[in-house]
Each structure stands twice: as C-alpha cells, then as structure tokens.
Amino acid sequence: MSDLLDHGLPIPTEAMMLGGREVLRAFVVQDDLHVTLANAFEQPEVWGVLLVDIAARIADMYASKAGMGRDQALAGLRKGFDDEWARMTAAPATDITN
C-alpha cells in the first residue's frame, strides 16, 4: 500500500487552495481498470461533460509532452472511445462512495 501512496499523483493546486471534491480515482492493475467513483452528480450527462473535459486535458498533455498535435490526440481518444463503446467489455467491480 505504501508503494501506491508513494507514487500517487499530486492533488491539483486549486483543490489544495480552494477545496473541492474528488469524484474519480482510477488505477490500472494487471491491465485491468479499477475505479472508485463518488456519487457526485444527479444526472449522467454531467459525467459526459466531465469525460470530454478530461479528454481535452489528455490531448493537451500529448501535445505538450509527446509532440503530437492536439487534434491528432483527440482523434485517437475518440477512436479508442468509439471502439470500446462498440464492444463494451465487462469491467471489474467499481467502488462507489457517497
């Protein structure tokens, strides 16, 4: 467990300064995704907005760190999303908090 905590991602500066609520924690364990979700929103559409915002930030990361164009990164993300959506595989259990 300590190894996990030693390599955890930092809390965003704004969250440290202004507060906020963690709504998603994700880990890849032996090539499987494991997540904990907070029951944070009344409507699933809000999660859709959150996922698109995350996709944009991932594309920006690839653009700045991997020299890939933002549009190219977004296209790759969209392809992966569409491919997985078409064959949605069974996932391990998700922990949900209130």
pTM of the full structure: 0.82
Tokens of 84: 């997985």
pLDDT the model gives residue 75: 97
Is CATH 3.40.50.620 the right assignment for the domain spanning 2-97?
A: no
pLDDT the model gives residue 30: 85
pLDDT the model gives residue 2: 53
Q: For each of the chain's 98 residues, which pLDDT tens digit applies?
A: 556 556 789 999 999 999 999 999 998 888 888 899 999 999 999 999 999 999 999 999 999 998 899 999 999 999 999 998 999 876 667 888 87
Give the end-to-end CA distance of the chain in Å, rounded to a whole number: 23
- Helix axis angle, 44-65 relative to 70-86, nearest 10°? 140
How many other β-carbons are positioned within 10 Å of the β-carbon of residue 2?
Answer: 6
pLDDT the model gives residue 12: 93
